[in-house]
Structure 1
Amino acid sequence: MTRTRALTEYGPLILFFVCNYVWGIMPATAVLVATTVIATAYTVYTERRIPWMPVIGAVLVSVFGGLALVFDDAFFLKIKPTVATLLIAAGLAFGLLIRKYFLRTILNGVLELDDTGWRNLTIYWICAFCIMAAANEVAWRTLSTDGWVTFKAFGLTGLSVVAAIGAAPLMKAVRGGES
């Protein structure tokens, strides 16, 4: 991952964390929404294509962050990770049901797996996203707002990294018919 890509992906989250520490959750939310939109626009401009995952993420951050700001209630911001991860899990489950593996489309040639490999990887990520949603639910209901912000910045990011590492054996297990 290039420095620019890392900055556009993690920069808004880091600024959110720092701003929350300095000024509180509502100013941090405004910074998160603004920097996410700017980072996504920059990504679209530099890549000269629409990267759907960052765009969808920016829309969700804008909607839930906007609701938090309008209603002056961090609840909307706190449930965004739950809603986002459950929507992704539901989309993947729908694809599994109709035997269209959306991960194959998203990863677009990065992996060469047969249908069994894509099915197993899809099931793995459905479970991983459901676990992340459950973890977020527990966190926002049991931690202070500052505690939840720390969990959001580091806990959910850590869970995502662990999930990606855990998926590695599945990505090697079945390539183009090999066992």
Structure 2
Amino acid sequence: MAEKKINPMLKTGLEMGPIVVFFAAYLWLREKTFVIGGTEYEGFIVVTAMFVPLMILSSLALWKLTGKLSKMQIATLVLVVIFGGLSVWLNDDRFFKMKPTMIYLLFGGMLGIGLLRGQSYLKYVMEEMLPLKQEGWMILTRRLMMFFFGLAVLNEAIWRTQTTDTWVYFKTFGLTAAIFVFFMTQGKLFQTYADESK
């Protein structure tokens, strides 16, 4: 099914909204504890419990409005539900903090499998937005695979050695900025391997 066009601001809001709400709710509730059903929960766990259904609802709305979710969006949603659910169920924030590690290992691993088969799976996801020659796709895919593995290691280092506050800021702003900077630094590759036939 072809993707339906929707207002770009609405699309961005549905994609980024849950993360912004998570960050704002965390800042508001981080110092609080809640007793629910006789069990004490820190603010982080309560915010995670709110984030999971919000992520599901925003993904369903995006799917309903566009008629499509990318494989990356589906994989991210599944991992949010699994690791967020485990954090809430076991009252242990470590599972949710591991989620970005699993996401980046999954994405890096998928790209790596494609490379081993002589293919760029990234091309299938981004070809319409970024017309490149095959060689350019292979180079970009190798770089992005290594970048994802690097982000997985960095996430593990930060959540295991830093405070929850530091990790939340890193997850909300650091990871987003890192991905933006990565693509900004690929300008020479985009120019060199641009496919001008498209």
Same fold by TM (over 0.5)?
yes
Q: Does 1:89 align with 2:108?
A: yes
Q: What is the one-letter code of the residue matched to 1:168?
A: G
Q: How does 1:1-40 map to 2 (within 5 A)?
A: 2-23=8-29, 24-40=43-59
Q: How does 1:138-157 map to 2 (within 5 A)?
A: 138-157=157-176
The CA distance in 1 between the partners of 2:108 and 2:52, in whole Å, is: 24
The CA distance in 2 between the partners of 1:177 and 1:117, in whole Å, is: 13
SS at structure 2 position matched to 1:93 = helix
Q: How does 1:158-173 map to 2 (within 5 A)?
A: 158-173=177-192
Which is richer in strand?
A: 2
Task: Give the fraction of aligned pairs with identical amino acids, expressed as a percent.
Answer: 31
> Which digits, 9 at most, give the CA deviation of each residue in 1:92-118, with x for residues without a partner?
011001012101111143222222111
Task: Write out the 4+ residue segments of structure 1 that deviate beyond 6 Å after TM superposition.
Answer: none
**For the Cα contact (< 8 Å) 1:44–1:51, is it kept in 2?**
no
Q: How does 1:82-161 map to 2 (within 5 A)?
A: 82-161=101-180
- In structure 1, stretches of 5+ residues that fail to align are none
**For the Cα contact (< 8 Å) 1:68–1:77, is it kept in 2?**
yes
**For the Cα contact (< 8 Å) 1:12–1:31, is it kept in 2?**
no
Report which structure shows greater RCO (CA 8 Å, sep ≥6).
Answer: 1
1:6 deviates by 1.6
Q: What is the one-letter code of the residue matched to 1:8?
A: L
Per the normalisation by structure 1, the TM-score is 0.92
**For the Cα contact (< 8 Å) 2:119–2:138, is it kept in 1?**
no
> Which digits, 9 at most, give the CA deviation of each residue in 1:129-168, with x for residues without a partner?
1121122111101111122111111111111111121233
Which is richer in helix?
A: 1
Query: CA RMSD of the aligned region, Å?
Result: 1.7
Q: 2:75 aligns with which of 31, 50, 56?
A: 56
SS at structure 2 position matched to 1:113 = coil
Q: What is the one-letter code of the residue matched to 2:13?
A: L
Higher CA-based Rg? 2
SS at structure 2 position matched to 1:49 = coil
The CA distance in 2 between the partners of 1:51 and 1:111, in whole Å, is: 16
Per the normalisation by structure 2, the TM-score is 0.84
The CA distance in 1 between the partners of 2:190 and 2:88, in whole Å, is: 41
Q: 2:96 aligns with which of 60, 77, 81?
A: 77
SS at structure 2 position matched to 1:59 = helix
> Which digits, 9 at most, give the CA deviation of each residue in 1:31-76, with x for residues without a partner?
2111111111011000012332222211111111001111110110
